[in-house]
Structure 1
Amino acid sequence: MKLIAFDADDTLWVNEPNYVNVKEKLCKLLSHHVDQTTLSQRFYEAQIRNLRLFGYGAKSFILAMIETVIELTNGAVTGTEIQQIIDVGRELLDFPIDVLDGIPEVLDVLSQQFDLMVLTKGDLFDQESKIARSGLGHYFKHIEIVSEKNEQSYQAILKRYNVQPSEFLMIGNSLKSDILPVVHIGAKAVHIPYAITWEHERVAEEQLAGKSFVTLESARGLVELIMGAKEVA
């Protein structure tokens, strides 16, 4: 194994629950305008519609909520309420980083034997800030923040680092972003599910048929898996 890459959000640290919490706060704040079910559905549609323009992350999240409320209220939402959306949304830019169980110990062991990379998608400033706040940055030789995780982006990264697919391992919680594109280009992947998955990152069961990858309950199983494979090789 020449390069081992880790996803960041919900693989190295807790992320999605913070977004769920902020969304719930905003839905309650705006409930006098529209019911929460309608707001939630239209908000999700706005997020997906705007991905190609604003990408992923907290800023895109806030913009989508503002756009959704303006549309649903026919412009009746007040400036004060928009300011409240921004203020609540700011929580996503500086929340305390809760590193997931076992991650520091695993990174400490693996970084002594392999080149490690953080490979995540989203807003550059936001992701760099989370990496810095996590205190994990010193374990990683490389950091790559991309706009999307698909076959093309993985292939570009492997080419840039002169790594063959057989020499690359991706570890992450998202089957859509961290596992399937990696498997499709002939590289290896380890899926570590997280308790909450954003709807956009879910995949149908039939998409997994015939796909070869390892699933672990916890990051703590990575050392035995990877070091054991190294010894066998």
Structure 2
Amino acid sequence: MAGHGGITAIGFDADDTLWQNETFFRLTEQRFAELLSEHGEHEVISARLLEAERRNLSFYGYGVKGFTLSMIETAVEITGGEVSASVIAEILGFGRQMLQNPVETLPHVHDTLDALAGKYRILLITKGDLFDQERKLAQSGLGEYFDAVEIVSEKTPGTYERIFGRHADGAAHAMMVGNSLKSDVVPVITAGGWGVHVPHELTWVLEHETAPNGNPRFHRIDDLSGLLPLLGQIA
């Protein structure tokens, strides 16, 4: 298989590229701030939670479980260590609910994957909690499209070099499609591949990054319906 521009493999991010994810985090953050409203303003509680998440990434990684632990830590800090067992139990309930949320695929996902199948090696490259990502993939009904699935702890240039080297013809012949400039676009371009940014209306602040405008291997599309026309334009 050899596509346009020598591209033989296309990797897709999962959360907020193929299905909704950040929406559930924002709603839970709001519930968390309301739960602790007597201890501070919503904005202050959210900022403290973000600080905890940032501190804890290297310990807990990405996903619901790390987010839940960060909420508990924030509750302990904000209450001066006096948070009640019932509040902690409620926070744990928030986390369990997030792990049971239905999977809602985003527009044009099925049509796009249908059109690419058989023409490229299609990979799912996502980070987060292993069990939760496997659950969402199974419930999405998209599993049959992927030639390989990689659930990683972090997305770096080295990550993409290894994955595209293992499952395809190397990063130089690969494209990565996702909503995060920091995780899905910039590192794969650094590795020598193509990066396609598909913005989502909600993107976690810790995934924000400056777009590599001017780099010939960087592209932006409004949604996945723009991917096939883009591939046709790449010589």
Following superposition, the deviation at residue 98 of structure 1 comes to 1.1
Structure 1 position 216 matched with structure 2 position 221: yes
Which amino acid in structure 2 is aligned with residue 30 of structure 1? L
Cross-structure match for 2:125: 119
1:225 equivalent to 2:227? Answer no
Establish whether residue 138 from structure 1 lines up as the match of residue 137 from structure 2.
no
Query: Which whole-Å deviations, capped at 9, do the CAs of 1:132-182 have from their partners, x for residues lacking one?
Result: 111111111100000001112112212323522221110001001010001
Q: How far apart are residue 91 of structure 1 and its match?
A: 2.0
Partner of 2:4: none
Aligned-residue offset at 1:115 = 1.2
Partner Cα separation in structure 2 for residue 162 and residue 7 of structure 1: 17
Which residue is 2:206 aligned to? 200
User: Is 1:186 the equivalent of 2:192?
Assistant: yes
Q: What are the superposed Cα offsets for residues 98-135 of structure 1, whole Å, 9 maximum, x if unpaired?
A: 11111101101101311101100111111111111111
- How large is the Cα RMSD of the aligned pairs? 1.4
> What is the CA-CA distance between 1:39 and the residue it aligns to?
1.2
Query: Which amino acid is 1:221 matched to?
Result: G
Q: Percent of pairs identical after alignment? A: 41
- Aligned 8 A contact 2:148 2:167 in 1: no
Residue number in structure 1 paired with 2:20? 14
The offset of 1:188, in angstroms, is 0.7
Tell me the number of residue pairs that the alignment of Structure 1 and Structure 2 aligns: 228
Question: Partners in 2 of 1:137 and 1:162 — Cα distance?
Answer: 18
- TM-score normalised to structure 1 length: 0.93
Counterpart selection for 1:38 from 31, 41, 44:
44
With 88-97 and 129-138 compared, the bigger mean Cα shift is at 88-97
**TM-score, with normalisation over the residues of structure 2?**
0.92
Listed as ranges, the gaps of 5+ residues in structure 2 are 1-6
Equivalent pair of 2:12/2:123 in contact (CA under 8 Å): yes
Q: Which residue of 1 aligns with 2:103?
A: 97
Could you tell me which of 154, 158, 163 is aligned with 2:169? 163
Question: Structure 1 unaligned runs (5+)?
Answer: none
Instruction: Give the stretch that moved more between structures: 112-121 or 4-13.
Output: 112-121
Contact 1:22–1:91 at 8 Å: present in 2 too? no
Q: Which range is displaced more, 180-189 or 219-228? A: 219-228
Equivalent position of 2:3 in the other structure:
none
Alpha-carbon distance between aligned partners in 1 of 2:85 and 2:187, rounded to the nearest angstrom: 42
